[in-house]
Chains A and B, each alone.
Chain A
Amino acid sequence: MRATVDGNEAAASVAFRLNEVCCIYPITPSSPMAELADEWASHGRTNVWGTVPAVVEMQSEGGAAGALHGALQSGALATTFTASQGLLLMIPNMYKIAGELTPAVLHVAARSLAAQGLSIFGDHSDVMAVRQTGFALLASASVQEAHDLALVAQAATLRTRVPFVHFFDGFRTSHELNTIELLSDDDLRALVPEELVQAHRSRALSPERPFIRGTAQNPDVYFQARETVNPFYARVPGVVEETMARLAQRTGRRYRIVDYTGHPEAERVLVVMGSGGETVKETVAWLNARGERVGVVQVRLYRPFPAQALADALPPTVRHVAVLDRTKEPGSVGEPLFLDTVAALTESFSDGERAVMPRIVAGRYGLSSKEFTPGMVAGVFAELTGERPRRRFTIGITDDVSGTSLDCDATVDIEPPETVRAIFFGLGSDGTVGANKNTIKILGDEGLHAQGYFVYDSKKSGSQTVSHLRFGPQPIHAPYLVRQASFIGCHQFALLDRVDVLGAAADGATLLLNCPRPADEVWEALSRPTQEQILAKHIDVYTIDAGRIAREVGLAGRTNIVLQTCFFALSGVMPREQAIERIKTAVTKTYGRRGAEVVERNQAAVDSALDGLHRVEVPDRATATREPPAVVPAYASEFVRTVTAQMLAGRGDDLPVSALPVDGTYPSGTAAYEKRNISELVAVWDSDICIQCGNCSFVCPHSVIRSRYYDQANLKGAPDGFRSAPLDAVGLPDTRYTLQVYVEDCTGCELCVQACPVVAPGSAGRKAINLAAREPLVATERENIAFFETLPESDRSRVDFGTVRGTQFLEPLFEFSGACAGCGETPYLKLLSQLFGDRLMVANATGCSSIYGGNLPTTPWTTDADGRGPAWSNSLFEDNAEFGLGFRLAADRHTELARRRVGELREQIGPELVDEILAAPQLRESELRTQRERVNELRRRLDKLDGPTVADLQSVVDHLVRRSVWIVGGDGWAYDIGSAGLDHVLASGRNVNVLVLDTEVYSNTGGQMSKSTPLGAVAKFAAAGKTVPKKDLALQAIAYGSVYVARVAMGADPQQTLSALREAEAYDGPSLVLAYSHCIAHGMEMRDGLDQQYRAVASGYWPLIRYDPMLRATGGNPFLLDSPRPRIPLADYTNRELRYRTLTNSDPAEAERLHGLAEQAVDQRWDVYEEMATRGAPHFAADARQDRG
């Protein structure tokens, strides 16, 4: 049976059907395999032997590997799905599983490892890091292979007892949709007979026939015991080959552990593994058809390395071999596949099996999903033609530092003409990708072969998508982006000015524009370069106002179906009537489960689409004078202009090695240069009725609302439209107040409007800040912002840090992030940056906050006018608390060193200054500012001194101003993968501050359950509703007695949030702040986020508390219950979120039961808290550090 699926589904479909236990943990790009398994299990789908596999989410990949090991030792068929850092966390168990000869298959969507930067994209860095564990490694090169070899791996592991890693390229294969032939259950059973399963079970631990496995061994036997397994490994290549042959018998699809394709008398051959092999194979055929003699060796079984098979595969005529590795091993003689190939051929040659030893060179390609194209393959073959090809090279980049890179011809096009290629530019929110996925399925169902691959932006709001589609009568083996498209869909008109939409348009291509203008005005609206491209490439242009049609049928913003219909009509892939009918069928199929209303609206969109489609008359010459706007402003730093701007314009691939920092260090504050204009509606201030409370600015997730107060004399020279009002404060006459909205950065999330307490007199609901159309405002607001930035900044020492109103005057040093519009996390980070930014160090766990906080091209953490600002870094997901503790340990040592050196230099520096510095309190902002001035003075004096002590002091002198160390992360980190580390750091007694941005799911990887997920909520891996209550991390931390603990919710009580962050920071010990963060994964209107926070607190679900050990030390009750008793039913909070409603819909009885239990839990916890709030100090744990005296 044929189906159109992606690589993850292809692999998971087999893995699920051949296992009893799936121990999983979410990690990109493998998460969908686990999610599918969970979904199938929740629907009661069985494996081929009638068992519904248990799908268990663990706290980390380390945990998943442990559970996997246990399940295997107990006789279950067990698997896991992972990638990258996750695979690394499994390494200890992998040695154990292999050492005990335990059959199992790990399915890996191969991905880069975090080095100078994290990357979620594909290469072989992770799988190469486990090649030494004793696992066999089997590589799939395509979606079909990911399906077939998943079976081969499972059969072979049971037959050989050697465990397997079955891997395929992350994203390129894991996320590529392609048409494949499915394996039936009978196919699976035929290759994995039950005897093998029973043999596995017979080796399991059992008290009925006890033995001991997992002994500690001594020098006398460990070595020999290690050698016992050799025969098992020796059998693997043969067994895999044989299994592949049996698969071929059943399916006709023939794979070999090492496959040679090409000229039988080839002179030049590439050795390659993974999806790149497909590209090489196709290019080899194309080159040979043009008279060359080239070939390719595709390695499928990589461990145990089939040296003999490789040597045998290579024709004796070969003189030049290039081995391509998709990984980098700095400092090595060469990358692993190269070294293995050299060893195999050398041995073959020295044993006399080969007459001629070919010259072997090594190349790296495709790191982090870097494109690997036929042009590059041709480039490598060209290099091999030379007398002395480069021994080590890279392909696909320009390495102007070490000179490793080969040239290649980007115009090489080997694709058969009957393959139709199309590219669609859209936004994530307009549904372009979803529609294209549907298109592929429609075409697949029509008997065509179809392929789809989707490229996403690095932002979570307003993100761009590019869909690459191919279809035709032949199977499609082209694992690279479409480079010559006959159809271009530009679903967002503004993208024409931002990215090179027509760069990949073939001559005579069709361009479909979604444009709100009438057809006869479209041409004039294009920029000059776009017009020129259209003319040069003879592009046929069509336009439609899909936005209007979508609105009219009740699908505002979702233009996908309208544009999909136009694509079918214009591309002529099938007759119009037939296409419309097929789209409608697909709509019913895709949206049927969502109800009649959704289906009807989408059907209506199909029906209305073609009426609005018009051809654009293209004149014979370019008429526009308009150039696209500059990517970044001219005043940006050189790095931003030459490097960041290239990335922003989608030309990052062209950046040479020399352009990039050597150690992953990038300048702060680059998000400010990227004016994204992603929202049609933006916030507008009404200066007349504003009460200057600062609420809007406080809650703004994107820091686009800024306030300053200033002497009115500063208004001289203000632009006409610049707004200000008298400052609403006593004792400051002649002082004006301005609230400036950065409209080009505003996401239109509306939280500010919701937070505004003012209602305009004479109106029904108009606030002092409202949303209005952006377009007419941009030009004037640009001028206003420029003027606003010239106004003097509010003096920090005069701002009341203790009030929400005061904080609006503190400059945010976290701005314009790419987080979701209305994000519930970022307001807390912004507040941190406002309060402590100039001495803030942030250790950020991997997750949403590390992505919107640190994903290139531009980043939001920025600097103040003095160049100071948060120092931010991300280590890993699991180690963040420890990473941050390291910041503290270093700071403490260096503070101590600085104080010692200052003391030693007392006389030279001046005793008075030194004494002041050493005795200075540094709690209040005014104290910190004074200390800063003293340290500045100290610096000046040190500049005039010299000697080793002076130099030493200069290197640490900054530490005389107290640093604020914050450990930031989400609940996936704090409650799950980093839980042990967090616990340890909280128990350390050190002065670190932990901010948990609690969204109650793994938000960044798409909403998987964590131990923070509440009872009764539905999440991925808790599709039937979570049946265990959320962990009370606050009470755990309180138990130590030495930890400051707060639970806050900005939307419920901003003042309490502010107090908690300040107290936590001031507390000389570990602090833990748990911050309610509403999230898109909750399934609610993001503009209602603050209201939901209020409801969470008012229902008693999220009681606001503070626990301050300092109060206990002075005899007071350290436990403060800051929110009033529950005053709305829990349902008034939960019913507003899809995560709770889903269960009410899918299993109403269970939802009622869990809701009842959740209500009880709220009451019980409230009772406990209330009791704690009335206890005397002696009833709480003592802080041993305080008691030291």
Chain B
Amino acid sequence: MNLATSYMGLALRNPLVASASPLSQTLDGVRRVAEAGVGAVVLFSLFEEQLRREAAENARLVDAGTESFAESLSYFPAAAEDEAGPRRYLSLLERAAAAVELPVIASLNGVTRGGWTDYARAMQDAGAAAIELNIYYLPGDPRISGRDVEQRHIDVLSRVKDAVSVPVAVKLSPYFSSTGELALRLDEAGADALVLFNRFLQPDIDPDKLAVEAQVGLSSQAEARLPRTWIALLHGRVHASLAATTGVETSADVAKYLLAGADVVMTTSALLRHGPEHATVLIDGLSEWMARKGFSAVDDVRGLLAVPSDQDEAAYERAGYVSAMRKANSGIYQPW
């Protein structure tokens, strides 16, 4: 079975990509995921703001109790004062890139102009096969306009593209007035891939403890519908590769994304739930399904059920999207 896939020009042995998760926080985790057979690995995100806050916090702890008592004017060796910076991340990236045969993609969430470009360059130097921009942006200021937020995405992408030569992907949030238009603009601005979609890390509240819980919930299969629909719409309309993420639990979910037009399918939650070895199950299941359906190459599957870009009404109908929408509008679906 030929599962070979091209993603942003990177040659992948199959379309399954392990996306950013706690598994990719250690070299061992990256190795296990790679051994399980995925086509590429996206490391967890480097958060510039978190690094800045950590550095400030560490500085405060290094200072605590210093210059107070003549015998102990400090409590740490000078090295403890050093800003951690991206060193931890880059070291993992470097070791991971050297340790596994497949492409290791770095993920970046910057805050400052310099942060985006400097870190991106450092990631490229450390061996990142590509860089995924995790433009996770929650404006604290409600007066910022939607257009400004969109422009910010374009600016970040352009700057990083100027700074590095490796491919650059943009991981998007679905919450734009016109997600499609933004996707096209990013495509024009040179995005090598669009990753759909980012999930907001929305904290929960524990009514028993009366406390906010920062836990991240794992995604469920039902959540796949939104990205799948957008992928189906964008397939063939952008030059950028399309990566699907969210809600991949079984090989059927992988197949669905591919049919909708995804170049690669990313999974996190399933690997966390079942262990990295679950990747093998997904890939084998994909091969089996393809064999059963008579496909010999994954490229033959890709986009079969996408919304056709040639505006062929019949094809449109065939893809079932319009009828699904009509059904929804006619009250067959009762979401509330």
Contact = CB atoms under 8 A, between A and B. Distances in A.
Interface of A: 28-29, 31-32, 35, 38-39, 42, 120, 171, 175, 427-429, 431-434, 454, 456-461, 463, 465, 554, 558, 591, 593-598, 601, 759, 763-765, 820, 851, 1003-1007, 1018-1023, 1080-1081, 1083-1086, 1138-1139, 1141-1142, 1144-1149, 1152
B71 A1004 contact: yes
A1145 B67 contact: no
Contact of A428 (B51, B66, B81, B210): B66
Contacts of B58: 594, 1083, 1138, 1141-1142, 1145
A1147 B95 CA distance: 12
A1156 to B, nearest CB: 8
A38 to B, nearest CB: 7
Given A120-B71, A428-B68, A595-B85, A1083 B61 contact: yes
B194 to A, nearest CB: 30
A1149 B91 contact: yes
B201 interface: no
B288 to A, nearest CB: 36
B69 A460 contact: yes
Interface stretch (B72-80, B141-149, B226-234, B303-311): B72-80
B53 A38 contact: no
Contacts of B80: 1018, 1083, 1138-1139, 1142
A1145 B77 contact: no
Given A428-B65, A1142-B77, 13 more contacts: A42-B77, A427-B68, A431-B63, A456-B69, A593-B83, A594-B62, A595-B59, A597-B55, A1023-B78, A1144-B84, A1145-B85, A1146-B84, A1149-B91
A593 B76 contact: no
Query: Which of B68, B81, B211 gathers the greatest number of chain A CB atoms within 10 Å?
Result: B68
A463 B56 contact: no
Interface of B: 26-27, 51-53, 55-56, 58-59, 61-85, 87-88, 91-92, 95, 112, 210-211
Contacts of B211: 764-765
Contacts of A1148: 87-88, 91-92
A851 B77 contact: no
A473 B193 CA distance: 64
A427 B64 CA distance: 12
Given A594-B81, A1146-B82, A1004 B59 contact: no
Given A463-B68, A1138-B62, A1148-B88, A597 B53 contact: yes
A28 B77 contact: no
Contacts of B72: 460, 1003-1007
Given A595-B51, A598-B59, A1145-B82, A431 B67 contact: yes
Contacts of B84: 595, 1141, 1144-1146
Contacts of B95: 1149
A428 B71 CA distance: 13
Nearest to B85: A595
A1152 B95 CA distance: 12
Query: Which of A461, A593, A759 gathers the greatest number of chain B CB atoms within 10 Å?
Result: A593
A1080 B71 contact: no
A1010 to B, nearest CB: 14
A516 to B, nearest CB: 22
Nearest to A600: B52
B70 A29 contact: yes
Contacts of A42: 77, 79
B89 to A, nearest CB: 8
A461 B82 CA distance: 25
A35 B84 CA distance: 21
A221 B58 CA distance: 63
B77 A460 contact: no
A560 to B, nearest CB: 10
B159 to A, nearest CB: 18
Nearest to B80: A1142
Contact of A1005 (B66, B71, B92): B71
Contacts of B76: 1007, 1018-1020, 1081, 1083, 1138-1139, 1142
A6 B71 CA distance: 15
A1080 B59 contact: no
A1139 B58 CA distance: 10
B68 A457 contact: yes
B116 to A, nearest CB: 13
Given A465-B67, A1145-B88, A1149-B91, A595 B75 contact: no
B280 to A, nearest CB: 25
Contacts of B81: 593-594
B65 A1083 contact: no
Nearest to A1084: B61
20 contacts: A28-B71, A171-B70, A428-B67, A434-B63, A593-B81, A595-B59, A596-B83, A759-B210, A1004-B71, A1006-B71, A1006-B72, A1007-B74, A1018-B79, A1020-B76, A1080-B75, A1086-B64, A1142-B58, A1142-B80, A1145-B84, A1146-B84
Given A1006-B73, A1007-B72, A1138-B62, A595 B55 contact: yes
Nearest to A1006: B72
A35 B55 contact: no
A529 B53 CA distance: 45
Contacts of A1006: 71-75
A765 B51 CA distance: 29
Given A595-B56, A759-B210, A433 B67 contact: yes
B256 to A, nearest CB: 35
A1080 B65 contact: yes
Contacts of A35: 77
A1085 B63 CA distance: 12
A459 B77 contact: no
Nearest to A1085: B61
A1081 B63 CA distance: 10
Contacts of B68: 427-429, 456-457, 460-461, 463, 465
Nearest to A851: B71
A173 to B, nearest CB: 14
A851 B75 CA distance: 16
Query: Which of A32, A427, A1022, A1083 gathers the greatest number of chain B CB atoms within 10 Å?
Result: A1083
Contact of A1152 (B27, B59, B75, B83): B27
